Amino acid sequence: MFRLEAVDENVIGNPHKYIIETGGHIWFAEHPTLGIVGTCALMKKQTGVFELTKMGVASEARGMNVGSLLLQHVLTRAPAIAFNCLFLLTNKKCEAAIHLYEKYGFVHCKDIMQRYGSAYERCDVAMRYQK
C-alpha cells in the first residue's frame, strides 16, 4: 500500500535497536498451521508515551480476526506500559485499520498529529487511545 520510508527501514531492519532497546515491546500472532501471521509493537517516544506501530497481518491470514485479537492483546498490556499516552499514526487509505482502531477506543487527535505526525511522510491520520 505504501513505499517504505527511511524510518520504516530502520525499525523493520533492526527492531531490537529501535524498539526493544529503547523500552518498547513487540508482539506476534501465531497461527497453528500458517506460523507467524501478525505483529504489533509499542515504540517508546518518551516516559509513559508510546506509539502503536508496525501492526500488520499477513495477507493469507486476513479475515481470520488476527488484527482484532492482536490489538486486544496489546491493549490489555498497554495501560501498564503507556500510562500517559498511547497513539498511532496512519494514512486514511487504511480504512479497515482505522475502523478497527476506532472500535477499540482510539480517537482522532489533532495534538498527536502536530506533535508526531511529521515522523512519516504518508501520515495524515493521528489517533490517541482513550482508556
- Torsion, Cα 100 69 83 47, to 10 degrees, reads -90
Whole-model pTM: value is 0.90
What share of the chain has pLDDT > 70, as a percent? 96
> Going edge to edge, which strands form the sheet with 49-57?
25-31, 35-46, 49-57, 85-90, 125-129, 106-108
Amino acid letter, 11:
V
Provide mean pLDDT across the span 82-111. 94
Provide mean pLDDT across the span 66-74. 95
Domain definitions of the chain by residue range: 6-129
The superfamily (CATH) of domain 6-129 is Gcn5-related N-acetyltransferase (GNAT) (3.40.630.30)
Q: How confident is the model at residue 83 (pLDDT cuts 50, 70, 90)?
A: confident
